[in-house]
Structure 1
Amino acid sequence: MSVEQSPPFGVRIGVRSYEMDVNGHVNHAVYHQYGEHARMEHFRAAGLSQHALGAHGLTIVLLSTTVHFRAELRAGDELRIDSVIAFSARKPFTMSHRIVRVAAADGARTDDLAAEVECTLGVLDTTTRRLVADPHGRLVAASSDPALLGPGPDVSTS
């Protein structure tokens, strides 16, 4: 099955002191929140706010998420969270995030991969409460900037 990917999208955030665990680094659950923040910002930039989706009788649901931890993050670090959406011929689609430390708390410039977040998502019809077929097409129809969603699936090789 061939999967096409959208161009990367990214947001920047700073690590806050209250996100630390007893070991002095970012708590594992916070990485999921970083991925969620990047997802919501990516969809918002594409014109797919909850309000816009709701006007089309749709919402996006998270079906699964996995985080692969690569490096510690500490309070004061600056992060870039990139995201890429990939659609296939199936109802679920994927969104991948790379959490990269771009500056350490001491101000040193870095480019350290801190984590990779892999998510499986679906587009839910809010009336039937079922995943829709052709999630890419449905999102494009609701979007004000469909280029941020990337190409749809290559169904000729799926």
Structure 2
Amino acid sequence: MTGTTTTTPFTVRVTVRIYEIDAQGHLNNAVYHQYGDHARWACLRAAGISADDLRATGTGPVTLESTIRYHRELRAGDEVDVTCAFDWGDGKTFGIRQELRRADGVLAAEIGSRAGLLDLERRRLVPDPAGRWRALADRPALLGL
């Protein structure tokens, strides 16, 4: 894919809570997706885009595909840094790469996603999501723009 890629990904830290643990004693697989969502929204807020801003424009982000590759276990009490880096192209969709690293730097998981920006009235993807994000953001560099 051609396009712009962020060089230093946005990062947010989360702590694994006891109620997020599965029967094997490690982080439930669905929670990895929740951590990815949390980091993406934190990145948008840091760039100056709120959910209210998006609703006001009649648009909203939509995840089209999300894949997790697990490397190491996460357990209750682990502090985890979740990154968020965007890969922009020329089409209606864009990529998001995320890493989940324990505070000691060990890679626990990677999330790869395809996403778009949905026109909420027409229920179709907007043709230039990068342009829309750039116009809304106070700090578009955090989005790789």
Q: TM-score, normalised by structure 2?
A: 0.95
Give how far 1:127 is off.
2.0
In structure 1, how many angstroms separate the alpha carbons of the residues matched to 2:49 and 2:96?
Answer: 15
In structure 1, how many angstroms separate the alpha carbons of the residues matched to 2:105 and 2:142?
Answer: 24
Structure 1 unpaired stretches of 5+: 103-109, 152-158
Structure 2 unpaired stretches of 5+: none
1:35-54 correspondence runs (5 A) = 35-54=36-55
In structure 1, how many angstroms separate the alpha carbons of the residues matched to 2:36 and 2:11?
Answer: 11
In structure 2, how many angstroms separate the alpha carbons of the residues matched to 1:129 and 1:19?
Answer: 33
In structure 1, how many angstroms separate the alpha carbons of the residues matched to 2:120 and 2:31?
Answer: 28
Taking only aligned residues, the RMSD between alpha carbons, in angstroms, comes to: 1.1
Could you say which structure has the larger radius of gyration?
Answer: 1
Is the Cα contact below 8 Å between 1:56 and 1:142 reproduced in 2? no
Matched residue, 1:27: 28
Secondary structure of the residue that 1:47 maps to in structure 2? coil
- Residue identity over aligned pairs, in percent, reads 45
In structure 2, how many angstroms separate the alpha carbons of the residues matched to 1:25 and 1:150?
Answer: 33
Match of 1:136 among 122, 130, 139: 130
Q: Which amino acid aligns with 1:135?
A: P
Matched residue, 1:117: 111
Q: Which amino acid aligns with 2:22?
A: D
Matched residue, 1:77: 78
Matched residue, 1:106: none
Secondary structure of the residue that 1:139 maps to in structure 2? helix
Give how far 1:49 is off.
1.2
Output one character per residue of 1:80-122: Cα deviation in whole Å (capped at 9) or x when no partner: 00110111011110111100001xxxxxxx2100000011110
In structure 2, how many angstroms separate the alpha carbons of the residues matched to 1:30 and 1:75?
Answer: 12
Q: Which amino acid aligns with 1:32?
A: H
Q: Which amino acid aligns with 2:62?
A: V
Q: Which amino acid aligns with 1:144?
A: D
Indicate the larger mover: 70-79 or 41-50.
41-50
State the 4+ residue runs in structure 1 displaced beyond 4 angstroms. none
Secondary structure of the residue that 1:127 maps to in structure 2? coil
Secondary structure of the residue that 2:23 maps to in structure 1? coil
Q: TM-score, normalised by structure 1?
A: 0.87
